[in-house]
Structure 1
Amino acid sequence: MGIEGPFWRAIAVYRVASLAYAALFVLGAGGYARPVVSWTVIGVMAAWTVVTLVRYPATRRVPLLAADLLVTVACLLATPYAQGPAAAAAGVMPLTATWVAGPVLAYGVAGGRRAGAAAAAVMSAADLWLRGGSGVELASLQVNGAVLLFLAGVVVGHVARLAREAEERMRRAVLMEAAGRERERLARGIHDSVLQVLALVQRRGAEIGGEAAELGRLAGEQEAALRALVQAPPITRAPDLTPTGLRDRLRPAFAARGTRAGRGPGSAGRLRRPARPGAEPAPEFAPEPGADPGVDPGAEPYADLRDLLRPFGTARVTVSAPATPLPLPAATAREVAAAVGAALDNVVRHCPEGTRAWILAEDDDDAVVVTVRDEGPGIPDGRLEQAAREGRMGVARSIRGRLADLGGTAAITSSPSGTEIELSVPAGERA
């Protein structure tokens, strides 16, 4: 039902309360001049109230709305036969009492203020014709009921339309945010793989010289072009933000990631980062601990973060972890490990050759904290802000962005004696 649900529940309560009021009104009047007719009309009103409670809002088509209006008009026009000519001429409240506003409210919610005003016009015309046909002078007719019906139909219809528009804007905003977050995730993956390799080719080509220098130059141009492509510009509009449209737009990116390095859509595992200088060469593709290529990754909800951090240990990188496991949701553990890898890549790229680094993982009761510290020259003041403006994603997205998506934090402290990055993620429920 969405945002319209409360409107239909309110109309249902109003119909039941109005029916009870009309029944009490007939009971207090002793059934009027023709009790059989009076209670028969009340029975029809009760039966139709049950129908509307069952059929609205699942069925809001024109036939049901038209039938709602016709049944209500018929019950209203049966008033003279139940009350008698004298009661009608005296201006006694019609037999249906306030129950007549039910279809007006339904039209307003289903079709907006114009539909509500049209239903109010039909009901008001029937009420005025009923009173005028009972011998009451046109100048003395009470129009308060008609005015109230018009106000109810227009106001409820207008509010319902505003609610639907607000719901649609919220839906579009959520989908745009989801698209932006997916773009961020894909950009981080590209940064951790393709961009790093292109930067390495550029540096090594410049060092070797000759034809390799030209190859390095081309790799540098492609790196710059790809970096500009994956930058997420502000999203101002989305031509197709339906779930199907989003899935179609993102499917090529998912397919590209799934087939990279021979990785199939249903396989379990992760791409290993290029080996850092001094590190033992690692296979291009290695399965996750305990992963089964034929099993859905969601079947293994937890992973030990220590198992994902140990491969980073080299002669220059020391990994320290507690003796007890550090269980985290598997996806969270992989993202934390990727953020640690991005931090170490920055050490390799921006610190002198042979710079040492340390990784410390610890359990802080309600959080898991991983600290990456190096003894490099530190980060110059304003360098991180400048890198973010230039589209460099190492810290802004691969580290801070990952932790933000996990509901954690990334604190960076830098001085001339080294840089320390503290990554903290909520521990959540333990396995």
Structure 2
Amino acid sequence: MQQGLQAPMWRAIGAYRITSLIYVAVLIVRNVDQYANPLATGPVFALMVGWTAFATAAFARPQWRRWPLLIVDLAVALAVVVAGPFVIGQTALSDGVPTLAVTWLGAPVLTWAVSGGRRRGVAAALVLGAADISVRDQLHPSTLNGLALMLLAGFVVGLVARLAVEAEERMQRAIQLEAATRERERLARDIHDSVLQVLALVQRRGAHLDGEAGELARLAGQQEAKLRMLIADGPAGPPPAEEGDADLRAVLGRFASDTISFASPATPVLLPSRAAEAVRAAVNATLDNVSRHAGQHARAWVLLEDDTSTITVSIRDNGPGFPPGRLEEAASQGRLGVAQSIRGRIADLGGTVEIFSTPGDGTEVELHIPRP
């Protein structure tokens, strides 16, 4: 558990230990004449003083807040509870004389709650409360009230501690996001002043040329558009429904360029991050096939659709297409780009791939991904 926002809680528990010990001392001075063994009060109180000093210093160190120290803290409190009937006597306890520990018992409950949340705090309260009840020969309402207060303290303080941890984690993510955004802006300025201007110049100077020079100019224009999208792409759209999800609109939208059109719904299309990455890789492999086979005038259209049970990604191009049986022939020759890069990735998600192509009419690839 993170320690930043919890540090004031640990300091407060230390202050509580010292204050409750002073209260115990006042009660001992006031009631010692009613104790069955008043001389035994000294060793027990000395144990409480020594442990209060040690525990206050030990719990101030984050690396020491582990199970061994927590268990010893609870054991010392149990020892004081068990010693109560011997020092005070059952008769005095039955007459309403306070136990030796009284409010000092709350410190282990608080440490367990802050270190592990409400469940651990409630568990410590139940252990101490059961021990306090077991050493009495009869049950008083004040005993039940003390148990109820310890249970409430363990639950509430544990809940607050857990919320503090979650708040600190969110704050840390926000700080990292802000730092990444600033770095992206810095890189964007540097790239704009150098790489983008060169790519734009190459595209303008070579746009009217034929042959390889014209092809290089076209590729420079595509890379300029993709690079602009990359450096401008930040956390877009609403936050994901749950941690680990990704919006396919943002993931696939990065393919948009002057030769690739992208259309998507107005609302987020969420998939787990790993599934979204597999879909992106399959679409990337499909678009690579388009650029490789459709020539310098190739264009592609990517359409993202979402319904209640299935997400569909359609990729259509204006390339030459291919005759029936061509994919099977390529697979038999060991060329497994479609079989592995596209079909394999979507099959791993439980989906299917449909490919429609006619010579001279381009190709359309449909990826059907079921919702998890």
Give the TM-score band, short-chain normalised.
0.5 to 0.7
Q: Do 2:31 and 2:97's aligned partners in 1 also have CA atoms closer than 8 Å?
A: no
Gaps of 5+ in 2: 245-372
Decide whether the 8 Å contact of 2:74 with 2:124 is kept in 1.
Answer: yes
Alignment of 1:5-404 (within 5 A): 5-30=7-32, 32-56=35-59, 57-58=61-62, 59-131=64-136, 133=137, 136=138, 138=139, 142-206=143-207, 212-234=213-235, 236=239
Distance in 1 of aligned mates of 2:110 and 2:36? 31
Moved more, 178-187 or 2-11: 178-187
Post-superposition Cα deviations, 1:315-359, rounded to whole Å, max 9, x if no partner, equal: xxxxxxxxxxxxxxxxxxxxxxxxxxxxxxxxxxxxxxxxxxxxx
Question: How much does 1:35 deviate?
Answer: 2.6
Compared CA separation, residues 205 and 140, structure 1 to 2 (3 A):
closer
Give distance in 1, aligned partners of 2:118 and 2:79.
Answer: 24
Question: How much has 1:231 moved relative to structure 2?
Answer: 2.0
Match of 1:358 in 2: none
Separation (CA, whole Å) in 1 of partners of 2:205 and 2:48:
86
Is contact 1:184-1:232 (8 Å) kept? no
Rounded Cα–Cα distance in structure 2 between residues aligned with 1:50 and 1:64? 14
Q: Post-superposition shift, 1:185?
A: 1.6
Query: Is contact 1:107–1:119 with CA below 8 Å preserved after alignment?
Result: yes
Q: How far apart, CA to CA, are the structure 2 residues paired with 1:214 and 1:165?
A: 53
Number of equivalences: 235
RMSD in angstroms over aligned alpha carbons?
2.2
Q: In structure 2, how many angstroms separate the alpha carbons of the residues matched to 1:201 and 1:228?
A: 19
Supply the distance in 2 between the matched residues of 1:51 and 1:190 (Cα, whole angstroms).
58
Residues 144 and 198 from structure 1, CA distance in 2 versus in 1: closer, same or farther, beyond 3 angstroms?
same
Kindly indicate whether the alpha-carbon contact (under 8 Å) linking 2:181 and 2:234 is maintained by their aligned counterparts in 1: no
Q: Deviations over 1:379-423 (max 9, x none)?
A: xxxxxxxxxxxxxxxxxxxxxxxxxxxxxxxxxxxxxxxxxxxxx
Q: Residue 17 of structure 1: CA displacement?
A: 0.2
Deviation at 1:64, TM superposition (A): 1.1
Distance 1:10 1:139, change over 3 A: closer
TM-score normalised by the chain length of structure 1: 0.51
Change (3 A) 1:140 1:195: closer
Give, in whole Å, the separation in 2 of the partners of 1:211 and 1:148. 82
Contact 2:17 2:104 in 1 (8 A): yes
Give TM-score scaled by structure 2 length.
0.59
Identical pairs, percent: 51
1:199 positional shift? 1.1
Deviation at 1:104, TM superposition (A): 0.5
Structure 1 position 212, deviation (Å): 4.4
Measured after TM superposition, the shift of residue 61 of structure 1 is 1.4
User: 1:180 is aligned with what amino acid?
Assistant: T
Bigger shift: residues 39-48 or 222-231: 222-231
- What is the Cα deviation at residue 115 of structure 1? 0.4
Q: Provide Cα deviations, 1:256-293, integer angstroms capped at 9, x if missing partner.
A: xxxxxxxxxxxxxxxxxxxxxxxxxxxxxxxxxxxxxx
Shift of 1:34: 2.4
Residues 200 and 224 of structure 2 are in contact (CA less than 8 Å); yes or no, is this contact kept in structure 1? yes
Structure 2 Cα separation of the partners of residues 95 and 211 of structure 1: 93
Q: Distance in 2 between matches of 1:206 and 1:84?
A: 101
Mapped to 1, the partners of 2:124 and 2:90 lie a distance apart of 27
CA apart distance, 1:213: 4.4
Can you list the C-alpha shifts for 1:213-264, whole angstroms capped at 9, x where unaligned?
444333222212222222223255786xxxxxxxxxxxxxxxxxxxxxxxxx
| 1:161 Cα deviation after fit | 0.5
